Amino acid sequence: MVEEEVICFRKELLSGSLNKRKVFYDEKLWRHILDNLQSIPRSVAEKDYNFKQVVVYAVIKSGDLFLTYRRTSKTNEERLRSRYSVGIGGHINIADTTQLSLFNSDHKEGFLLEALWREIREEINIEAAILAEPRLICFINDDSNDVGKVHFGTVWLVKIERPEVSLRKERGIGKLEFYALQQLQNRKEQFETWSQLVIDRFSVE
Residue 126 amino acid letter: I
Average pLDDT of the chain to the nearest whole number? 86
Q: State the Cα–Cα distance between residues 179 and 175, nearest whole angstrom.
A: 13
Lowest-pLDDT choice from 58-72, 77-91, 139-153, 180-194 = 77-91
Q: State the Cα–Cα distance between residues 108 and 113, nearest whole angstrom.
A: 10
User: Residue 125: its pLDDT value, please?
Assistant: 94
* The model scores a pTM over 0.85: yes
Other C-beta atoms within 10 Å of 169: how many? 9
Q: Indicate the length of the chain as a whole number.
A: 205
User: Residue 102: its pLDDT value, please?
Assistant: 45
**CATH architecture, domain 5-203:** Alpha-Beta Complex (3.90)
User: Residue 18: its pLDDT value, please?
Assistant: 65
| pLDDT band (50, 70, 90) for residue 17 | low
Q: State the Cα–Cα distance between residues 202 and 161, nearest whole angstrom.
A: 19
**Helix ranges (DSSP H) in 35-127:** 42-45, 94-97, 110-123
Q: Is the pLDDT assigned to residue 99 strictly greater than 50? A: no
Residue 74 amino acid letter: K
CA distances from 177 to 75, 81, 84, 156, 165 (A): 18, 18, 11, 19, 9
| pLDDT band (50, 70, 90) for residue 12 | very high
* Model pLDDT for residues 131-167, shown as the tens digit of each residue: 999 999 999 999 888 888 999 999 999 999 999 999 9
CA distances from 117 to 88, 99, 134, 170, 202 (A): 10, 17, 9, 18, 22
Q: How far is CA 131 from the centre of its chain?
A: 20
User: Residue 97: its pLDDT value, please?
Assistant: 65
Instruction: Give the mean model confidence (pLDDT) for residues 162-191.
Output: 90
